[in-house]
Structure 1
Amino acid sequence: MPAPTLLCLNTGSASLKFALFKWDDCHGPRLPEALLSGEIDSHDGQATLRWTDAQGQSHRTASSDPRGDIAAEVDTLLDQLIIPAGCGPIAAVAHRIVHGGTTFTTAQRITPTVRTALDALRSLAPLHQGPGLAGVDAASARLPEVPQIACFDTAFHATQTDLARHYAIPREWHDKGFKRYGFHGLSYDAITHILPPLLGERAQGAVIVAHLGGGSSLCGLRGLRSVSTTMGFTALDGLVMSTRCGAIDPGLVLHWITEEHLDAGQLTAMLYHDSGLKGVSGLSGDMRTLEASAEPQAQQAIALFTASVTHHIGALAADIGGLDALVFTGGIGTHSARVRQEVCSALSWLGLRLDPLANAAGQACITHGDSKVPAYALPTDEEGVMALQAAALLAV
């Protein structure tokens, strides 16, 4: 009988990513290699299943179904791909849950009580908490006897000091949990597993990781632990993003409420869905579309994005006491040579010397050998981290 496996479901606002691992490979310290991995995403409203098998071969299957029916997509994964592959019984399912609040700072087995507590955090991550929990419900319905494990994006930042997480608001609100949480923690955790072989002792120093994608943030590391990050109470703060505004004057929001009479629903739609690259360009929130466009507004949106990344790298370097290495990851970070080039050029005063050929080729190291600050473009592996966390929890 085939050895047991561990399934990871990374359910986001725009896609359902997945990976299947051998159970015995999930006990660290290295990130495990997936038997199958891929995602269901949408192109022009049509759901498409893309995956890579253990031999590295890529596959693609289109569906006439619209993207976003999580239960149907989990059924598709199990019935059309995972079960027919004959990779072995599923021993556990790990889920990416974006917000763990103040309570959940490590991976948790999802009980009815935990499920209820996570649902109460839905308003803090409106684009992600609901889909993540829908993935939990779908997998629980199909695999009722299999442990369901929650792995949290906020948990990686629990190492930050209270000062780093504090807003300058009345203390009673802070004590109620209104503080900076930070996100993309599973991605940052994955990069900490990759850095030591690349950087040696330097990996323990001041490292900034730029997770740039539909949602974008930065994390400043010391000793491979989170010291400072750009997102805060919600995933709306910090960098300019695909459709999210990033950092904004709260007085502007108050003005929209009092003078323009926008309600909460209108503001949510504007700041989460109609701002960022999409709002500035008036064209798209997709960096690939903007880079291919000659429209001035598209070019301005890109310039605003790279300026935002550069600005916040400078701020985080101050927080962590310098910059020993810079890492780009996420969809934009690993695939946009232009964004990397513009950010690195703006940081040349730090002694960072970009290698244009290495950058254009998408090599791991994109700086010259004599660059004072090395920069890297590295794919992240959130599912690999989820597998390690889930296996460690169940081994206790």
Structure 2
Amino acid sequence: MSDTILVINAGSSSIKFQLFAIAPEKQLDRRLRGQIEGIGTRPRLVASDATGQRVIDKVWGTDEVGELHHALDRLVVFLREYVGRLPVAVGHRVVHGGPEFIEPTLLNSRVLDHLQRFVPLAPLHQPNNLAPIRIVLERQPHLLQVACFDTAFHRHHSEIADRYAIPDRFYREGVRRYGFHGLSYEYIASRIPQVAPEIGDHRVVVAHLGSGASMCAQQGGKSIESSMGFTALDGLPMGTRPGQIDAGVVLYLMNEKGMSVKDVEHFLYNDCGLKGLSGISNDVRDLLSSVDPRAKLALDYFAYRIALFGGMLATALGGIDGLVFTAGIGENAPAIRRAVVARMSCFGIELSETANGKNQLRISSDASRVGCYVVPTDEELMIARHTLQMLQMQKMPKEKRA
């Protein structure tokens, strides 16, 4: 039986996981994909094997799986039964690594305490990302755990790209533009030379469009600029987050509407974006199927802002040779892609309606001066790769000192 690596992406009421077997030649074979959802309400474990075949679908009462540590216990039992033993390492998605953590990092209590400092910068994600790490550290302290950061891929931006126009002391304290969805962008950067070699080393704008959405300017497989900044609130409008917003709006909400800091935080993270614009839903699928004019407004605004930021990122690159769509909306919503490209036609991008409608790899027409592509992302595989590298480094013999 091969050793395995478990990848965990924990949310407030769910644990998404994937299990990879370490095959010969240090290749990674996906064995399982699943999640425990509804923790504390309607807990349910669902998992499928590499072929998509369902291997478990189990429901518990809230008294059995009421908290995260109960869910982890159930996951451990399932893995023991299905695989026969526990993984040799666990890789975690951690949204914010701050200015210090710029590469995958071995986890211990000291690192965990440091990462706790960034909770205010990613309140929807960071606490949930760190919770299972803490539990595993307590119960299996010798099990290798690796944090893979969504900010790390962007940490080599120029200082001009990183800064805000505020006094230098804040920049030195870490108030800077970080960028997010880095694991997705890193994976896309690794795939482009394989699936679209014609733009491999050229100027590429990648649009990661999901419930959380952002864009990244890449050249030569490296991040040059990102639409997101200090927190995951900036840039594109998202499912429930507003994206770019005048700071004066926040001051207005507090000074004129009497909203507290906590009120504003909840408002910006939960009540804005597509949900706020439409008054209907934060799900693009719901909005696409709706005849309500507010749904159309939200989608038009979404496409407009994506195209607007696409132009900004093309400027950062000095031009654009490729446009890539990825993530749930980017990979599966031809209407959104069509609306974005229509607004970016001034760059010489032209769609093939047939290819776009079928979610094909290349969706631009033969006449298009800029290639347009749909490349599925795989953040979990990226985490597994980093975790495997860290595992191999730990197993390397130490150099003998004279």
Do the structures match in fold with TM over 0.5?
yes
- TM-score, normalised by the number of residues in structure 1: 0.92
Instruction: Give the conservation status (yes or no) of the 8 Å contact 2:109–2:137.
Output: no
1:114 partner letter: V
Q: Which residue of 1 aligns with 2:19?
A: 20
C-alpha distance in 1, partners of 2:56/2:356?
28
Does residue 39 (structure 1) correspond to residue 35 (structure 2)? The answer is yes
C-alpha distance in 2, partners of 1:178/1:18?
32
- TM-score, normalised by the number of residues in structure 2: 0.91
C-alpha distance in 2, partners of 1:111/1:214?
31
2:149 partner letter: F
Report the alpha carbon displacement of residue 60 of structure 1 after superposing the two structures with TM: 6.5
2:174 aligned to which of 173, 177, 190 = 177
- Aligned-pair identity in percent equals 38
Does residue 312 (structure 1) correspond to residue 299 (structure 2)? The answer is no
Distance of aligned partners of 1:50 and 1:198 in 2 relative to their CA distance in 1, 3 Å threshold: same
1:385 aligned to which of 367, 382, 385 = 382
C-alpha distance in 2, partners of 1:51/1:319?
42
1:290 partner letter: L
Q: Which residue of 1 aligns with 2:76?
A: 78
Q: How does 1:29-178 map to 2 (within 5 A)?
A: 32-41=28-37, 46-58=42-54, 61=57, 63=59, 69-80=67-78, 82-86=79-83, 88-178=85-175
Distance of aligned partners of 1:25 and 1:357 in 2 relative to their CA distance in 1, 3 Å threshold: farther
Report the alpha carbon displacement of residue 39 of structure 1 after superposing the two structures with TM: 3.1
**SS of equivalent residue, structure 2 residue 91:** strand
C-alpha distance in 2, partners of 1:291/1:368?
25
Report the alpha carbon displacement of residue 69 of structure 1 after superposing the two structures with TM: 3.7
C-alpha distance in 2, partners of 1:64/1:279?
34
C-alpha distance in 1, partners of 2:154/2:70?
33
Report the alpha carbon displacement of residue 139 of structure 1 after superposing the two structures with TM: 3.3
Q: Which residue of 2 aligns with 1:367?
A: 364
Q: Which residue of 1 aligns with 2:331?
A: 334
C-alpha distance in 2, partners of 1:350/1:377?
18
Instruction: Give the conservation status (yes or no) of the 8 Å contact 2:162–2:178.
Output: yes
Report the alpha carbon displacement of residue 12 of structure 1 after superposing the two structures with TM: 3.5
**SS of equivalent residue, structure 1 residue 204:** coil
Instruction: Give the conservation status (yes or no) of the 8 Å contact 2:112–2:134.
Output: no
* Cα distance per residue 1:251-279 (max 9 Å; x no partner): 11112222222110110111110000111
2:21 partner letter: K
C-alpha distance in 1, partners of 2:89/2:322?
36
Distance of aligned partners of 1:60 and 1:371 in 2 relative to their CA distance in 1, 3 Å threshold: farther
1:187 partner letter: S
Q: How does 1:294-313 map to 2 (within 5 A)?
A: 294-313=291-310
Instruction: Give the conservation status (yes or no) of the 8 Å contact 1:71–1:138.
Output: yes
C-alpha distance in 2, partners of 1:90/1:198?
31
C-alpha distance in 1, partners of 2:336/2:17?
27
2:324 partner letter: V
Report the alpha carbon displacement of residue 380 of structure 1 after superposing the two structures with TM: 0.8
Gaps of 5+ in 2: 394-402
**SS of equivalent residue, structure 1 residue 326:** strand
C-alpha distance in 2, partners of 1:369/1:52?
39
| Stretch deviating more after TM superposition (372-381 or 210-219) | 372-381
Instruction: Give the conservation status (yes or no) of the 8 Å contact 1:33–1:384.
Output: no
Distance of aligned partners of 1:360 and 1:77 in 2 relative to their CA distance in 1, 3 Å threshold: farther
**SS of equivalent residue, structure 1 residue 118:** helix
| Stretch deviating more after TM superposition (248-257 or 358-367) | 358-367
2:166 partner letter: I
Instruction: Give the conservation status (yes or no) of the 8 Å contact 1:46–1:62.
Output: no
* Cα distance per residue 1:84-132 (max 9 Å; x no partner): 2226541100100111111111111111100100111111110100000
1:271 aligned to which of 268, 277, 284 = 268
Distance of aligned partners of 1:300 and 1:42 in 2 relative to their CA distance in 1, 3 Å threshold: farther
C-alpha distance in 2, partners of 1:59/1:352?
44
Report the alpha carbon displacement of residue 54 of structure 1 after superposing the two structures with TM: 2.3
- Count of residues in correspondence between the two structures: 390
Instruction: Give the conservation status (yes or no) of the 8 Å contact 1:157–1:182.
Output: yes
C-alpha distance in 1, partners of 2:295/2:245?
20
Q: CA RMSD in A?
A: 2.1
Does residue 249 (structure 1) correspond to residue 246 (structure 2)? The answer is yes
Instruction: Give the conservation status (yes or no) of the 8 Å contact 1:48–1:61.
Output: yes
Q: Which residue of 2 aligns with 1:358?
A: 355
Gaps of 5+ in 1: none
| Stretch deviating more after TM superposition (340-349 or 305-314) | 340-349
Larger CA Rg, structure 1 vs 2: 2
Report the alpha carbon displacement of residue 198 of structure 1 after superposing the two structures with TM: 1.7
Instruction: Give the conservation status (yes or no) of the 8 Å contact 2:236–2:243.
Output: yes
Q: Which residue of 2 aligns with 1:195?
A: 192
C-alpha distance in 1, partners of 2:200/2:267?
39
Report the alpha carbon displacement of residue 193 of structure 1 after superposing the two structures with TM: 1.5
